[in-house]
Amino acid sequence: MAEYSISQLAKEFDVTTRTIRHYEDLGLLAPARRGQTRVYSPADRTRLRLILRGKRLGLSLDDSREIIDMYEPGKTNVDQLKKLIDAIQLQRSKLNQQLDDISKLLKDLNQAEADCIEALKSNGNP
Amino acid sequence: MAEYSISQLAKEFDVTTRTIRHYEDLGLLAPARRGQTRVYSPADRTRLRLILRGKRLGLSLDDSREIIDMYEPGKTNVDQLKKLIDAIQLQRSKLNQQLDDISKLLKDLNQAEADCIEALKSNGNP
DNA sequence: CCTTACCTTTACGTTAACGTAAACTATTGA
DNA sequence: TCAATAGTTTACGTTAACGTAAAGGTAAGG
């Protein structure tokens, strides 16, 4: 089986069909049609997965579209390729910043949790 | 020196004063006042830093407020503490998901970059 | 004294990312 | 045959996170 309906994808990724159509409106998806009905390929499904991953990382849909377009080898122009590499490096530096942020936040959370547990010990049985 | 004006902080963190006041409106900051003018302590500055870190990670301001409040030991109630620990663990699992997402995205970007470079080699001098 | 540079509050405007509802079509099983 | 189910388009509504403008207070410097 190599195709999906919109509601199948919606169920699988836990979003609404409205959301999926919205992504299409913005040009992030372009499923085939059988008559009027959308038919999604595995590639479409992958794109959706990438979009949602980007969302979890706080990317805008525009950002996601840019990134996803990076994966497609359709760009023949040399300048375009160079611009792409620049964009990739920029995204990479953002991601590294995020990694740093996350590790700091995790440390903070650990500390906060330890404090809570400590407070429970001294406060739990007065 | 242990205090800052709103525009000092705005400059330092590259946001507008409107943004900082907005965070105050939502209850994320509560600077002292000298007369009518806001006076920010180092602790306020730290809170702002945390808020912006949260933003980079795609957290909502409400989420950030919750997290920041975790760091404060003002909660004496046992139930509150247990709820806090739950919240902390939930945040931690979200962050771990993000770590996973990021590592996958970084892999993808590396691949995309390699493809670009490859394309440049074969296309750069035809 | 007057301009310049900050500060303030109030309030309407804007953008992104959908939600929600209306109105319609097509397929399918009782 | 008819009602339920799943699909469609169109279009107005909503929320978060500020932007932007108006209208004004205050302190320093020329």
Q: What is the pLDDT of residues B58-71, one digit of tens each?
A: 889 998 998 888 77
For residue A25, pLDDT over 70 is answered with yes
State whether residue B102 is helix, strand or coil. helix
Closest CA to B114 of A64, A80, A81: A81
For residue A44, pLDDT over 80 is answered with yes
Establish if A28 touches chain B: CB-CB under 8 angstroms. Answer: no
- pLDDT value for A46: 94
- pLDDT value for B124: 52
Closest amino acid to nucleotide C6 (CA–C1'): B7
Other beta carbons within 10 angstroms of residue B25's beta carbon come to 9
- pLDDT value for A47: 95
Task: Kindly state the average pLDDT of the residues A99-119.
Answer: 84
Task: Kindly state the average pLDDT of the residues A54-75.
Answer: 83
Other beta carbons within 10 angstroms of residue B107's beta carbon come to 10
Q: Indicate the pTM of the whole model.
A: 0.84
> With an 8 Å Cβ cutoff, are B95 and A88 in contact?
no
> With an 8 Å Cβ cutoff, are A95 and B81 in contact?
no
Residue A125 — pLDDT band, cuts 50, 70, 90? low
- pLDDT value for A11: 97
How far is the alpha carbon of A65 from chain B, nearest alpha carbon, in Å? 13
Residue pair B2/B41 in contact by the 8 Å Cβ criterion: yes
Task: Kindly state the average pLDDT of the residues A96-119.
Answer: 84
Q: Tell me how far CA of residue B6 lies from CA of B10, B23, B31, B32, B64, in angstroms.
A: 6, 12, 10, 11, 20
Convert A86-106 to b/e letters by CB count within 10 Å (16 or more is b).
ebbeebeebbeebeebbeebe
| B38: β partners | B33
> With an 8 Å Cβ cutoff, are A81 and B119 in contact?
yes
